[in-house]
Structure formats: C-alpha cells, structure tokens
Structure 1
C-alpha cells in the first residue's frame, strides 16, 4: 500500500487526501488548526459568510424605486457580535464536516505540525510529525499513536506540501487585534468600526471595503495603484470603483501607507506623501506570504523561489521526486479551487493514474464585491498587449430586461473570441452573482465552443444570463460583417 503524507489540511490538502484514500493509499494528513485549514477557519469561508450578511443589508437600499416604503438603511440595526459569531460558527461547522469526511474515508488526521526530516536513500521520504496538545489531536487517533508534543517520524513514498499562506505584516503597521487588524482578526470585533481604513485595494481589500460599506460603515480605501484591483480587468475594476465612490467610499489612489499607529481610541495612518488619515480601525490587506519557512524544504533540496514559494510544474511536482506541492504555498494562483485541483493532480500523478496537467486558461475567478466581478480565460491585458489575437464585445446590463426589473444599472458582460474561428477564449462579468453567471462562459472555453454555438443557445427570458447569449450574437454579427 502506498504511504502518503500531506502537510496542510486546506483545500489543497484535504481534497488530495480524499482522492488518495479512494485509491486505497495509506494517508496521513497533518494540520495545525483544523480540517479545512485557514481557508475554512479564517479566510475564504468566513469572509464570504461575512459578505453574505452585508448582502442582506444591501437589500434595504433604495427600496422606494420598487414602490416599497421602508426606513432604509437608517432603520437597520446590525449586531456585529452576532454577525461575527455566525461567521465563526459556520466556519467551525464546515471544518467539522470536512473532518468527518476525512475520518470516514480512512485518513489518519493529525492535529499538529510536520516538516521534512533527513534525506533518505531509496524511494521514501522521512516526515517528522509533532502532534499538538489541541483536544482534536486525541480524536479518532489510532491506539498507541504519539500525542501531546512527542515528535515521531513517518516514512512516505509521497509527500504533499499544502501549507497555504498567511497575511503579510508590515513592520510599521503590525496588527494588534484591537485597532489594527488583519483579515483574520475582524471577526473578533463586538462592534462595527465607525470609520474603517482599508490598506490595500487588491481582491481582499476590495471585498472587505465593499462589505463594510454595505453595512453602513464609513470606509476609506488606500490604494497604491491608479485604480482598485489593479490586476483585474480594467473595465470591470473601474466599474466597481465607480460604484464604491457613488455609495460614499473614499478612495485614495496612488497612495501608499507608510505606517499605522493605534492611538488608543482609533488609528492614525500616515501616507508616503505625508498626508494622514484618522479612523476607528485599520484593516491590513497587503498580500500574503507562503507558510514554507519551517518545513525543512531547502535543507532537503526542494527548490524554493524568492518569496518562499515552492516551485512546481503543471502536475504539482517539485524538483525532488516524490515531493509535491499545492495551493497558495506554490504561488500559482491563490484560489481554493486551484489548490484543490493541484492537490488532486498531485495524488493522481503520484499513484500512476491518468492525469491532465493543470490548465489555468479554464480557471474562473470571482471577486465578491457588490457587484461581483468574475473572469475566465483570456484577459483584456493579453489582447491589448498583442499576445493573443481576439475580437471582443462588451454588453452593458442596462439593456437587459431582468436587470431593469431588479433596478440594476451597473455591470456588463464581455466576451473574447478568436478572429478566424469564433472560438470563445475569455469572458468577464460584472453583476450580482457574477460567480454564477461566469459558468456558461467557462464551459464554453473548456469545450472549445464558438460564438455561433453560444448564440444559438436558448436562454430563459428574462434573465441576466440572456446577456451572455446576446453578447455572443453580437460577436457573431461582427464576424460576418
């Protein structure tokens, strides 16, 4: 029986463990915090649960246009502690579900930490495991297994590193859990901030800024670039930035924070140009760093790139045979869906199963702002830079019947296709629930569909998805002109 040790229990780790168990491998999964890792316990699941609460509040905005009289946002009371308690409760429940699934599959789940041991001859790798004193460490453990801090060694034919990443910390703005917060600490607040200063306008910063703004919090977003979410589609990012400003958010573009100080009853943010911003709280969203420093990777001969990311190929292999890596620690693409697929691919490859290399061109991504921003495939930057020839059309939602009924005036659908064949190669959606609307475009790219085929697909009327088929029809028309 193949012995596989997985270090890290996030999506890259637990999905790999389930696949390995299905293939009858002897699987040990080591995770410090709980099944699901940071993704489930403190990152993706909590943030999207928090955003779900903000969406409920959004439903009270401007109801008069629908003929419904209400007190509006002024009549809404938000119990921050109850919101955050729900966030934590659902995260723990999800972690528990994953733990139960792993145990049922026969995976040996160890609560603790692990690192690579001494290099060994042959086809095995030594992994040193240190169980923690966490109560979960004693649950469902085989009789006689070491617990409570006693390090022990396991020899495995395959090792998968899936240790994720942690919030980046600036020496001049160290989170204290009270006024200066990282995105894992916001759920400990018993009251909403009165004025939240968000440092960093990438995906994480934009999502939290959007959610707190929806809850009626005054928000200042400090962006070091010309626009928010600088790595996203420019049309989409500018559309969302426009919505933010219309709803009252202060956005400081091309502004870099030099320091953040807890003043006792608030925070003082000093910008690089000498300006200052005062708020009640500051949220640091300045990126993440991979959790690879204490795994013994370099000592073992595993290639680690600048910044600490583990170097892998498209089947998740490192340069050392039998050592694989998946997820945010690889720096490939910081998405739970990608981490999970990297983990599955690693196990399939290690166990000799037929496997296709990771294909990023069919990976869809979503930013959970209001409205949402979803993308897949070819980007506008690729087209503008001349890397890939493509035709495109951008169709505003203002002409969509369902959007009119819902009072939506912000958003669009953008499609890219090959000039000669009409094959769909990319798409962007800005709309409520864009994360759901991007699926047909993703399926079109995955299955090499053309704009003609998408244009001839009958869609429900009225529906937002109808704009996707309409965009295809416009591309088809342009192709024949």
Structure 2
C-alpha cells in the first residue's frame, strides 16, 4: 500500500518535534506534523521556558537585598509586569520560530491545524483533508485539570499565567505539586501576597519527605501562607475580587485564583477509542517500552502516555521512537533514574529513590546534612541548605540524592551522572571537595545520619 507519509505526528511539542526531526532529517522518512496551537508545545509556550524566566524575574528582590548586605548601594524599584511580559512574549515568538525552522530544515511538512485519527493509517485534518501514513505518532501532551466546583470559571490555570494583563495584589494557588509550589514562589517574589491551599498533608507529594518538608518550611519562612489539608469548595465573584470558600470553614478574598491541581493527557476527541484502544483512567495512552500502542502502526510519546511528565523524557522517547522505527535500532528509553528539579525558592533537585521508597526496597543508610550557606549567611539570612544521600547497605551504591538549595537544579544534573553510572558511597568519599562550595557537602558526609 502507498502512503502519503511514512510518519504523521500529531502534536508539535518537544517529543513530537524531536521524533519528526530525527525520522526525516536523519533517516530520510517522509514526515508530516500537525499542531493546532503554537509550535513548541507546553514546555516552550506555556511551561518550562516562560516559567523559568519568571523564576529568574522573581529572584531579583532577594539578590538586591543580598547586594546591600555586601556593600552595594542599590535599591529595588517597582516591578514592571507589562515590560517583562512584552519581552517574554517576544522570546516565546523567537523560540517558536526556531522550532519551525528546525522542522522545515529537516524536511518535515507542517500542518497548522488540528488532526484526529480516522483509522490505523489515516488522519483527518481540521480543513477536512485526509492523509495516510504508515506510522502515526501521538504527541499531544497534557492539559491543566480544574475540578468541577461552583465558580470554576473564575479560576485560571498555568496556561494563562504568562498573559495576565496585570499582577494581582492577592493570589490563591490551589494545588501542592511542583507547578503550584513554583508559581506560589514566583508570585511571592514578584510582590504578590500569596496563599497556597493543598488538600494533602504536605506539598510536593512523591518527593523525599524530608526534602519536601524543608522546602515547605522555607516557603513559609519567606511569607507564603501554605494551608495543607485544605481545599476549595466553591469560588464566588465579589465586588472587589474572588471569594474562596474552603473546606476548613474559612472564606478569603483574592484578586486571582490559580488552579495547579494536575495535568491530564490531552487525548479527548483524537479518535483513539475508535481504533479500539482502551485509554487509562485519566485518558493516558497505554504503550509498551518502545512507545507502541496495541495498534501496531500507532505510537505515543510524552505526557500523553502518563509515564514521566518531563520535557527531556518526551524528547528522549521521541528520539528512541525514531531510532526504533526508522533507524533499525530498537531503542527503549530507560525511565529509571530520571533527575528532576522543582524551581521553588529554594530549589529542590532529586534523582533516584526517596528515603521512603528505598527503605521499602532494601536496608539503607541515610547521609544528610543541613547548614546555612556562606553566601546568605554573610547577608544575615536564615536560609538552610539540605544535602541528602540514600545508600544501599548491601551494594554501597548511592540509590538517591536530594538537594534543597539555590541552584539545586544545576547541582542535581551532575549528581545524576555519577548515580547513573552506579557510584558507591565510597566513590563519593574518594572525591576531593571543591572548597568553598555548597556541593562539597555531598562528598564530606562520613557517618550515616540513620539506617533503615
């Protein structure tokens, strides 16, 4: 059978773009790609990139305060949100153009419209045109989830955060994951009075308990009003803002309510059920280790599969798919030991097992230290850094590393290399410290804090 394309990709985010580029540019496949929104997907347009730029912007008040302590005669003026947002939007336009150029230069045909799957080898575009493909890759990512409560239309999600006409004076962030916690810190750093509601017992579920507690305490010390065990029952419009009626019996008024209560796979209306595929509980597409669905010609990568919702993971999955299907190099991406960073203030970097997960698996030793870092100690601040290693008693391998500190995301990337290579605690001990740094504490902890 003759096909219009060797591969048709639905979704122009990081995973889909990587798969399309490698399949076409490196392996010579004829590739089409459809994107109904902006090229670049969640990460570039409404996720990692604009969020990290907001993180940078929100950190300057601390930097100015520290500069004063170090003898600099500097004063913080007012933050100009409109000026920042204008530059942010220009940068996103530049990045979207770069993504388009990457695809075009690789020979990929771009369709700027929605696409749905008709059958195992056929896709229908919003224009009504139908195209055939030997292989179809679904890479449509995720979408913010807002619970169905009265007044939900009064809330915004992370999608809208980067396009606010003005910053609020009072904001409520609902959720306890990394997106909620990051935006709570961003808004606070930009001068907004922030409250955060989370129905669980502690924010950042899934991360090491000691590390997440350290982050929560630091956020509270900065002035963020975190309420755990609390959820919103309803939202009501008032003359001066939005009233949030909470499960703890309180009623508070805010200028903005941001829901960051999780993301769901963006699979609604794609035609997947018509293929006979049974989706997961939240709409995720079940795939095997080669990202192949139960329909042999249909694959899926990225957040839409509900595996690990991180941009670098989607990129690696997309690349592995192209190597497998078009490069004759069967490649299954290993989802173990994926490092991650939470860009709160302070940041949390993590790779490998938490203390809780590790002790369920085998006997362990825990090495941990908390201290005031030199930079902010000199400035008279009370910040504390946490460094933590989880070690197997049997093999001596470092099973996990958790860092709470400024620039923890930068530090954990390097620790991930060592741990991915199977480094033991003795390998860490043999490494000479770089002094004076925060990171030297990772190689100077000689005695375990506890065993489990």
Distance between the aligned counterparts of 2:341 and 2:60, measured in 1? 20
**2:152 touches 2:235 (CA, 8 Å); kept in 1?**
no
Distance between the aligned counterparts of 1:207 and 1:440, measured in 2? 22
Q: CA deviation at 1:13?
A: 0.5
What per-residue deviation string (whole Å, max 9, x for no partner) do you get for residues 194-235 of structure 1?
110111121111000001111221101111111221222211
Q: Which has the higher contact order (CA 8 A, sep 6+)?
A: 2
**1:361 touches 1:376 (CA, 8 Å); kept in 2?**
no
Q: CA deviation at 1:259?
A: 1.3
**Structure 2 equivalent of residue 143 of structure 1:** none
Distance between the aligned counterparts of 2:234 and 2:38, measured in 1? 33
Change (3 A) 1:173 1:26: farther
**2:218 touches 2:383 (CA, 8 Å); kept in 1?**
no
Q: CA deviation at 1:263?
A: 2.0
What per-residue deviation string (whole Å, max 9, x for no partner) do you get for residues 134-172 of structure 1?
xxxxxxxxxxxxxxx2x2222222111100111112332
**Structure 2 equivalent of residue 268 of structure 1:** 243
- Structure 2 gap segments, 5+ residues each: none
What per-residue deviation string (whole Å, max 9, x for no partner) do you get for residues 85-105 of structure 1?
222222221111111111111
**2:167 touches 2:192 (CA, 8 Å); kept in 1?**
yes
Distance between the aligned counterparts of 1:156 and 1:469, measured in 2? 53
**1:374 touches 1:434 (CA, 8 Å); kept in 2?**
yes
Distance between the aligned counterparts of 2:79 and 2:444, measured in 1? 40
Q: CA deviation at 1:439?
A: 1.8
Distance between the aligned counterparts of 1:390 and 1:91, measured in 2? 45
Q: CA deviation at 1:440?
A: 2.4
Change (3 A) 1:106 1:234: same
**Structure 2 equivalent of residue 144 of structure 1:** none
**Structure 2 equivalent of residue 141 of structure 1:** none
Distance between the aligned counterparts of 1:382 and 1:188, measured in 2? 39
Worse overlay, 185-194 or 196-205: 185-194
Change (3 A) 1:65 1:367: same
**Structure 2 equivalent of residue 139 of structure 1:** none
**Structure 1 equivalent of residue 125 of structure 2:** 129
**Structure 1 equivalent of residue 102 of structure 2:** 101
Q: CA deviation at 1:329?
A: 0.9
Change (3 A) 1:389 1:26: farther
**2:214 touches 2:386 (CA, 8 Å); kept in 1?**
no
Change (3 A) 1:389 1:161: farther
Distance between the aligned counterparts of 1:96 and 1:18, measured in 2? 15
Distance between the aligned counterparts of 1:397 and 1:16, measured in 2? 44
**2:20 touches 2:108 (CA, 8 Å); kept in 1?**
yes
**Structure 1 equivalent of residue 65 of structure 2:** 61
**Which residue, 423, 444, 448 being the options, matches 1:470?**
444
Query: How many pairs align?
Result: 446
Q: Secondary structure at 2:223's aligned position in 1?
A: coil
**1:58 touches 1:215 (CA, 8 Å); kept in 2?**
no
**Structure 2 equivalent of residue 146 of structure 1:** none
**Which residue, 371, 391, 396 being the options, matches 2:365?**
391
- Structure 1 gap segments, 5+ residues each: 120-124, 131-148
Distance between the aligned counterparts of 2:366 and 2:450, measured in 1? 9
**Structure 2 equivalent of residue 189 of structure 1:** 164
**Which residue, 230, 237, 255 being the options, matches 1:280?**
255
**2:36 touches 2:113 (CA, 8 Å); kept in 1?**
yes
What per-residue deviation string (whole Å, max 9, x for no partner) do you get for residues 76-134 of structure 1?
31111122222222222111111111111111111111111135xxxxx112223xxxx
Distance between the aligned counterparts of 2:208 and 2:298, measured in 1? 35
**Structure 2 equivalent of residue 318 of structure 1:** 293
Distance between the aligned counterparts of 1:408 and 1:438, measured in 2? 23
Change (3 A) 1:46 1:478: closer
**2:321 touches 2:331 (CA, 8 Å); kept in 1?**
no
**Structure 2 equivalent of residue 301 of structure 1:** 276
Give TM-score scaled by structure 2 length: 0.92
Change (3 A) 1:350 1:460: same
Distance between the aligned counterparts of 1:157 and 1:462, measured in 2? 57
Instruction: Say whether residues 1:45 and 2:41 are aligned partners.
Output: no
**1:382 touches 1:388 (CA, 8 Å); kept in 2?**
no
Q: CA deviation at 1:402?
A: 6.1
Worse overlay, 462-471 or 428-437: 462-471
**Which residue, 146, 153, 159 being the options, matches 2:136?**
159
**2:363 touches 2:394 (CA, 8 Å); kept in 1?**
no
Give TM-score scaled by structure 1 length: 0.87
**Which residue, 388, 391, 397 being the options, matches 1:423?**
397
Q: For 1:219-368, list aligned pairs within 5 A.
A: 219-351=194-326, 353-368=328-343
Distance between the aligned counterparts of 1:285 and 1:156, measured in 2? 37
Q: Secondary structure at 1:192's aligned position in 2?
A: coil
Distance between the aligned counterparts of 1:387 and 1:173, measured in 2? 43
Distance between the aligned counterparts of 1:38 and 1:287, measured in 2? 14
Distance between the aligned counterparts of 1:457 and 1:368, measured in 2? 28
